[in-house]
Amino acid sequence: MLKEILSGEATESVVTKIHELLTALGERVRGGSVPLDDFIIFKRLGKNPEDYPDKKSQPHVQVALRMKSKGTAVRAHDVIPYIMCLGADGKSAKTAQADKAFHPDDLRRQGSELKIGESRCLSRRKAYRKITTFTSIHRSFSRFCVCASL
């Protein structure tokens, strides 16, 4: 997508191409052809996981606490990988998302019944925000190039 943004083409053309890329990605995700590693989110702990006052609402903190309970040393500034999964009912809830975050190894474990929360990754609102952000970046970059006489 960055290639499209930096292409120098008209904003509408760039937005259309990004939309096409996101649509194709959505089809690949729904078809199961996207590797597990592409769903991993990485977030750094700002403090020790038990020191967060709102630990129940932060996915990376929930995963870090589970890691600690299994004997893994986890402390402030560690980067925690996690994947958002479906709930026990097989659905992606609108609330309480943090408890649906799991370490990638939990999904890779033999016999794991965890399923990736694809719908969360593919929500239209997020895609719209990405396109809007890219449009804004494209406009800013275009203005910069004009000002810098590039």
Q: What number is the average pLDDT over the span 18-42?
A: 84
The CATH number covering residue 43 comes to: 3.40.1820.20
- What is the number of domains present in the chain? 2
140 and 82 in one domain?
Answer: no
**Domain of residue 14, residue span:** 1-29+122-145
**In terms of domains, do 78 and 128 share one?**
no
**Within 45-123, where are the H helices?**
59-69, 104-108, 118-121
Residue 20 lies in a domain: yes
Q: Would 150 be classed as within a structural domain?
A: no
Question: pLDDT category, 124, cuts 50, 70, 90?
Answer: very low
Closest CA to 93 of 81, 105, 101, 103: 101
The tokens 């309480």 sit on which residue?
96
Same domain, 57 and 108: yes
Give, as one character, the DSSP assignment of residue 18: H
Based on the fold, state whether residues 8 and 49 are members of the same structural domain: no
Query: What is the bridge-based pairing of β-strands 79-84 and 101-102?
Result: antiparallel
Which has the higher per-residue pLDDT, 83 or 29? 83
* Residue 135 to residues 1, 93, 150, Cα–Cα distance (Å): 11, 30, 19
Q: What confidence score (pLDDT) does residue 29 get?
A: 78
Q: Given pLDDT bands bounded at 50, 70 and 90, which one contains residue 125?
A: very low
101 and 43 inside one domain: yes
Whether pTM > 0.75 for this model: the answer is no
45 and 67 co-located in one domain? yes
Task: Evaluate whether 96 touches 79 at the Cβ level (below 8 Å).
Answer: no
Same domain as 70, residue 19: no
User: Residues 104, 127: one domain?
Assistant: no
